[in-house]
Amino acid sequence: MVMAVAFTRYGKLYYLDPGEHSPRVGDKVLVPTDDGPEVAECVWAPQWVSEDVGGLPVCEGPATEQHLERDERNRQRKAEVKVVARRLIREHELPMKIVGVDYVDTRDDVDQLVTIYFSAPHRVDFRDLVRDLARTLRARIDLRQLGARDEARVQGGIGPCGRDTCCSTFLTDFEPVSVRMAKDQDLPLNPLKISGACGRLMCCLKYEHPLYQDFKRSVPTAGCDVETDDGVSGTVIGYNVPAETVYVRDRETGRGVACPKASVCGSRQAYEGAVAQGMRRTPDVDDADEETP
């Protein structure tokens, strides 16, 4: 049995073992964390899955009124911390932007812990700021600087596709993305078109890149002369990889024709076979010339 919860509305999903409990969608449940049980909302009721999933944290049961009151107090405390931190940042004239706040009211090693996530264009000397925050909030302060991608993950948002950003929903690790991936997918190299909410190259460029690589290895390259199974003779002018289609300019009519990948792969194999055969013959001719007196 597996269930899914979220700590914030439309936030990242966390999977749990429901144990002996059967919460419904929308119920508040307790989730074990490093800082003790925290309140989260059930967004995926417990159900059986085909695969054996082990090692998931076990749900600690429904949240009581006391837990809900504590969670609401912590939310209010986070809002107060944001207001105070922004005011002190302006007073110290630091180029910092508050991204998120975590607040822990009780833990074994500290009574109150405030973690403030911020972004900045470069490294910032915030020692004086930490002292003022600790004195004003009367808590232990932990300031953490985030990069552009981590900032987008914490803040969340909507991507160009109209869906929630991958980094704020399911993406756990950031893999390297290069401009070469955009070129291989025939995308315009316009930063506004291939950049995500963080200003970096979109992570989704990596999802379909292997598909484009495999497709282009199995079809004729642009500019090659081909003849399809339907009798169309012309030149390859483009591709539609998701539809597995090759666009060919008909030599007779001059019009572009969309042909299935399977109908032109034979031409690619014949072309490569002819090239390989020609390469095998070339040394024979050279050897014959060398043997001529």
* Cα(225)–Cα(202) distance, integer angstroms: 35
The position carrying tokens 């504590």 is: 70
- The whole-angstrom separation of Cα 291 and Cα 285 is 10
pLDDT tens readout for residues 45-62: 888 877 777 778 888 889
pTM for this prediction:
0.65
For 207, which DSSP code? T
Is pLDDT above 50 for 291? no
- Reported as a single tens digit per residue, the pLDDT across 186-237 is 888 888 888 888 888 998 888 888 888 888 888 888 888 888 777 778 888 8
Note the pLDDT tens digit of each residue in 239-268: 888 888 888 888 778 788 787 877 776 654
Give the closest residue to 254 by CA, choosing from 228, 281, 232, 278. 232
Helices (H), the chain: 65-92, 127-137, 148-155, 179-184, 191-194, 209-217, 261-291
Query: In sequence order, what are the residues at sequence separation of 6 or more whose Cβ sits closer than 8 angstroms to the Cβ of residue 244?
Result: 215, 260, 261
Query: Comparing C-alpha atoms, which of 211, 212, 191 is closest to residue 202?
Result: 191
